[in-house]
Amino acid sequence: MHIYPDAKAVIEALGPDEPIICNRPHAADRAARFFTAKFPGETLYAVKANPSPELLKVLWGAGVTHYDVASIAEVRLARETLPDATLCFMHPVKTRRAVREAYHQHGVRVFALDTQEELEKIVTACSDDEGNPAEDLRLLVRMRVSSDHSELSLASKFGAELGEAAPLLQTTRQHCDWLGVCFHVGSQAMSPFAYVQALDRVRAAIAEAAVTVDVIDVGGGFPSIYPDMEPPPLEDYFTIIKQHFEALPIAYNADLWCEPGRALCAEYSSLLVCVEKRRGNELYINDGAYGALFDAAHVGWRFPVNALEDDLIKPLSDFAFFGPTCDDIDYMPGPFSLPEDIQSGDYIEIGMIGAYGSAMKTGFNGFGDAEQVIVHDEPMASLYRGDRVRPESDNVVSLR
């Protein structure tokens, strides 16, 4: 990857027709070091948020040794990229073949499940040729919890209900010496209280099951920072999680895990796009719903934007974007705040697309190519930079 000081230098050097992804390894490194130093337990990176091998190596270099993988392709990719990493297969619905390959060929020992059927599948797929069961399985029961405090729900698809969790914990305990409970409060949880509610459910399930639990995995959901979404400091989340974890009826030496995706990689990338046409306050740009701006189109996510021409004069005005494909749904309502004299041929940097942005790009309609470069400047916003807007908070906001 070529290296530039910032997005403007990329435009000056390349004058690109296609969108460009600007990666900031220093920002991902800083986020990972924050988690490994301050989260009161083990930090797993959720690979689906951004599976780029370059990013995985940055996180590894910053001390992240455990990775949450959800498909056999992610298992293979993570194993190939990081031969010594601990891989945890956390999707609660896997194929028998995927479990077998993960266990026997890639050294995966940690698996999540939310039904008796999945438990049976894991136990048989990991047994040896003579049918002897594996003795080193580490199994986590995924519980369903509320997504009420999160911007993107993960509540309806996976997880055992409270009533099912206790019997499932009891049978799972019979197949492993290391038992855990995991959940996911939904992505971009805007309040630490999300984890309190979830841990209350976990407490009820463990009390009812009366089994020894060796690990509590509070999942992902840790927020990043976007326009109109300024979360409390991450330390508040960590403190509250630790308090409620320590009050659980679990083994005295039980571990605490978390699985952030977004919080570790949102700041890693921004996107450079070119305006190809203007119609009133709608800008036709060269990336969109089928590209790195999936969330901007499908859930109306607002990303921070910055016009890169020097001669544009403020004031700012509100704009919506159309992406390059022929579909009407390739539309991002925003509003995105840009100089009112922006026009075709101008470039825009769209920030904070490192999580669920570049990972979602497709080649639909012949669009989707995007060169990746490295830039050295700061991301448009950061939870980790330390130059605080509010003295009591860790957030820095330089958003419009």
Ligand X SMILES: *Cc1c(COP(=O)(O)O)cnc(C)c1O
Q: H-type helices in the chain, by residue range?
A: 7-14, 25-38, 53-61, 72-81, 96-106, 116-125, 162-173, 193-209, 234-246, 262-265, 294-298
Nearer to ligand X, 184 or 244 (CB): 184
Dist. CA 112–CA 159, nearest whole Å: 10
Binding window for ligand X (CB under 6 A); candidates: 45-53, 120-128, 130-138, 249-257? 45-53
Element (H, E) at 293: none
Cis before residue 335, ω within 30 degrees of 0? yes
Write down the least CB distance from residue 356 to ligand X, Å: 7
One of 30, 94, 173, 184 touching ligand X (CB under 6 A): 184
Task: Tell which phi-psi region holds residue 139, choosing left (phi > 0), alpha (psi between -120 and 50) or beta.
Answer: beta
Residues within window 88-147 making contact with ligand X, judged by CB under 6 A: 90
Taking CB under 6 A as the rule, which mask of x and - marks residues 345-384 in contact with ligand X?
Answer: ----------x-----------------------------
Interacting stretch for ligand X, rule CB under 6 A, among 173-181, 214-222, 321-329, 368-376?
A: 214-222
Q: Residues 25, 192, 261, 334: which binds ligand X (CB under 6 A)? A: 261
Residue of this chain nearest to ligand X (CB atom): 220
Buried b (16+ CB within 10 A) or exposed e, 21-59: bbbbbbbbbbbbbbbeeebebbbbbbbbbbbbeebbebb
As given in the structure block, the two tokens for residue 69 are 């993988």
Neighbours of 197 (CB within 10 A): 16
- The answer to whether the beta carbons of residues 202 and 168 sit under 8 Å apart is no
From the CB of 122, what's the least distance to ligand X, in Å?
16
* Residue among 19, 25, 41, 220 that touches ligand X (CB under 6 A): 220
Q: What is residue 233's DSSP assignment?
A: P
Cβ 183 to ligand X shortest distance, Å: 9
Q: Which is nearer to ligand X, 51 or 334 (CB)?
A: 51
Give me the residue label for tokens 């040794």: 65
Output 67 or 347, the one with its CB closest to ligand X. Answer: 67
The least distance separating ligand X from the CB of residue 363, rounded to whole angstroms, comes to: 23
Q: Which stretch binds ligand X (CB under 6 A): 71-79, 94-102, 217-225, 309-317?
A: 217-225
For residues 398 and 380, is the Cβ–Cβ distance under 8 A?
Answer: yes
Q: How far is the CB of 161 from ligand X (least distance, A)?
A: 17
Of 41, 180, 219, 351, the one binding ligand X by CB under 6 A: 219
C-alpha span between 175 and 249 (Å, rounded): 21
- Which x/- pattern over 230-259 shows residues binding ligand X (rule: CB under 6 A)? -----------------------------x
Q: How far is the CB of 112 from ligand X (least distance, A)?
A: 7
The residue (of 67 and 367) whose beta carbon lies closer to ligand X is 67
Q: How far apart are CB 184 and ligand X at their closest, in Å? A: 5
**Token pair of 251 as six digits:** 């083994």
3-state percent breakdown (helix, strand, coil) of the chain, nearest 5: 30, 25, 45
Nearer to ligand X, 89 or 322 (CB): 89
**Comparison of 359 and 373: residue with beta carbon closer to ligand X:** 359
Q: Could you say which of 262, 288, 322, 373 contacts ligand X (CB under 6 A)?
A: 262
Q: Examine residue 260 and tell whether it contacts ligand X (CB under 6 A).
A: yes
Tokens of 189: 């949880």
Distance (Å, whole) CA 86 – CA 80: 12
CB of 150 to ligand X, least distance (A): 8
Nearer to ligand X by C-beta: 272 or 296? 296
Nearer to ligand X, 150 or 325 (CB): 150
Closest Cα partner for 180 from 102, 82, 103, 68?
68
DSSP, residue by residue, 145-187: ---TTEEE---SSS-B-HHHHHHHHHHHHTT-SEEEEE----E
The letter for the amino acid at 356 is Y
The site for ligand X (CB under 6 A) is made up of: 46, 48-49, 68, 90, 184, 187, 219-222, 259-263, 355
